Amino acid sequence: MTAVRHVDVLVVGAGPAGLAAAARLAAAGAGRVEVLEREPEPGGVPRHSAHGGFGTLTRPLTGPRYARLLTEAAERAGATLRTGVTALDWARGGPVVTTVGPGGPETVRARAVVLATGARERPRAARLVPGTRPAGVCTTGELQRAVHLFGQHIGTRAVVVGAEDVSYAAAGTLRAAGTEVVALVTEDPRAHTGRARAQAARLYHGIPLLTSATVTELLGHGRLSGVRVRHRDGRTAVLPCDTVVFTGDFVPDHELARRGGLVLDPGTRGPAADGAWHTSRPGVFAAGDLLHAVEPARTAALEGARAARAVLDHLAGAPWPDPGVPVLVSAPLRWITPNRVTPGARPDHHLLRTGTPPPRPVLYVHQDGRLLHRTRPVPRVALPHRTLTLTARWHDRVDPGGGPVRVSTG
Ligand SMILES: Cc1cc2nc3c(=O)[nH]c(=O)nc-3n(C[C@H](O)[C@H](O)[C@H](O)COP(=O)(O)OP(=O)(O)OC[C@H]3O[C@@H](n4cnc5c(N)ncnc54)[C@H](O)[C@@H]3O)c2cc1C
């Protein structure tokens, strides 16, 4: 049995959400604020996203620079960052986490825990892509790590599966590594339209974009030799390549949350949380992509900073809220966050995603058949891979003893 160490706030994950939470908490005098990061350096995904697109519109930054600024802010405020340390599980009694790091196993008891473990892309196996199991198959995260952190050689010809922002980031990384990008392949028939098309044309002119197409088989023994692609009309073709990158299709990194028995939301598959980032487990908060894979880094950082406010209230003795009223979505909407309504924890707004463009650009909020709110989403054109926002002004009309709130498009 390892000795138990005590801290005031334990933050798990040193990405934008965790670092922003730690900076705010340490600056506000929350006591000993400790951040655990399993990687050798803090920074989360931006650390290995060498492209620009982080920071703000007026002050765009590369991922590594953004990660450095957040890290410095947390350290300057007085938070302790412990890298190479993985939070493994929970021990009995309050928020107590077991960890392992360079110094061996440890048990840390905290007055509050902020889970900020981010999200991961579903790998080939989880996407049930048939075929052989050759080398040369990766996700964007694995690709960026290999190229930007370890300078590894990737391959000579690559196919990118997906056609959203992260897919174009993967194509950029491949090109930077000297790999020819043979094609972007997506099942989405609309990837030729709107922002994605403009972006592809501007940044990756010359890379064929195959829409309404599915990668049905990986070929090759030892090393990948090609991917079989089926078009909507049933035609198939083999694209010769030695690398395939599966992009997008993110899921929250929720293993620790599951092990802690936190209630997960059926839409996001992250912990259910209210507008002050309380989870179902007293003393445990959640923020960032763990709650909604994947939003821009500044959203994650903002949530971390806002969660810090609620953590301070908790440390000052505020009672933990009851589970509250669940907020669910109907198809084609896929998820909404925050997804619990509790008294006194109204967020500025909710974030939503849709699976396909809804027939009518109107959002309805109902509880037990009662219309609470009706509005147009922002932005008005609701597309998959684009964040929608919904005001939270209807919260005070929710019956705390009623059934779930449902958000739908009709
Ligand atoms: C390829 C790619 C490109 C992107 N490009 C942009 C862009 O251009 N602009 C933009 O604004 N956003 C971009 N994003 C999104 C942005 O990176 C994320 O929104 C942001 O990183 C989320 O922050 P986070 O803190 O929630 O999670 P993360 O950044 O994922 O950080 C989570 C951290 O938790 C650690 N961790 C997880 N489990 C444990 C554990 N058990 N113990 C200890 N540590 C743990 C992880 O190692 C990780 O460092 C991109 C994302 C991807 C994947």
Hey, what are 141's tokens?
């995260």
Q: Please count the helices (runs of H) and the strands (runs of E) in the chain.
A: 7, 27
pLDDT digits (tens, 9 = 90+) for 241-286: 999 999 988 999 999 999 999 999 999 999 999 999 999 999 999 9
| 303 Cβ inside 6 Å of ligand 1 | no
Q: Which domains does the chain have, with CATH numbers?
A: 1-121+249-320 (3.50.50.60), 123-248 (3.50.50.60), 324-410 (2.60.40)
Distance (Å) from CA 242 to ligand 1 centroid: 27
Which residue out of 10, 45, 142 has the highest number of ligand 1 atoms within 8 Å of its CB and is therefore the one to mutate?
45
Angstrom distances, CA of residue 57 to CA of 52, 53, 54, 60, 145: 11, 8, 9, 6, 26
H or E, element range at 197: helix 194-203
pLDDT value, residue 94? 81
Is the pLDDT assigned to residue 197 strictly greater than 60? no
Instruction: Taking residues 345-374, report their average pLDDT.
Output: 93
pLDDT digits (tens, 9 = 90+) for 146-193: 998 888 889 999 999 998 888 988 999 999 899 999 999 999 887 655
Distance (Å) from CA 376 to ligand 1 centroid: 30
Among candidates 202, 201, 154, which has minimal Cα distance to 175? Answer: 154
CB burial readout 253-269, b (16+ within 10 A) else e: bbebbeebebbbbebbb
pLDDT value, residue 379? 77
Hey, what are 225's tokens?
């030799």
User: If 0-12 CB within 10 Å is exposed, 13-18 middle and 19+ buried, where does residue 380 land?
Assistant: exposed
Distance (Å) from CA 131 to ligand 1 centroid: 30
pLDDT value, residue 203? 58
Q: What percent of the chain has pLDDT over 70?
A: 96
Split at pLDDT 50, 70, 90, the class of 202 is low
Kindly list the strands in the beta sheet with 340-341, ordered across the sheet, starting from the edge strand earlier in the chain.
340-341, 325-329, 405-408, 363-367, 370-375
User: If 0-12 CB within 10 Å is exposed, 13-18 middle and 19+ buried, where does residue 319 land?
Assistant: exposed
pLDDT value, residue 357? 84
Q: Whose CA is nearest to atom 2 of ligand 1?
A: 166
Alpha-helical segments (H) within 105-193: 140-144, 165-176
Radius of gyration of the chain (CA): 22
CB atoms inside a 10 Å sphere around CB 381: 11
d(CA 51, CA 62): 5
List 214's β-bridge partners, or say none. Answer: 230
Chain centroid to CA 227: how far?
28
d(CA 231, CA 186): 10
H or E, element range at 236: strand 236-240
Distance (Å) from CA 70 to ligand 1 centroid: 13
Distance (Å) from CA 409 to ligand 1 centroid: 30
The closest-lying atom of ligand 1 relative to the alpha carbon of residue 39 is 47
| 248 Cβ inside 6 Å of ligand 1 | no
| 42 Cβ inside 6 Å of ligand 1 | no
CB atoms inside a 10 Å sphere around CB 80: 15
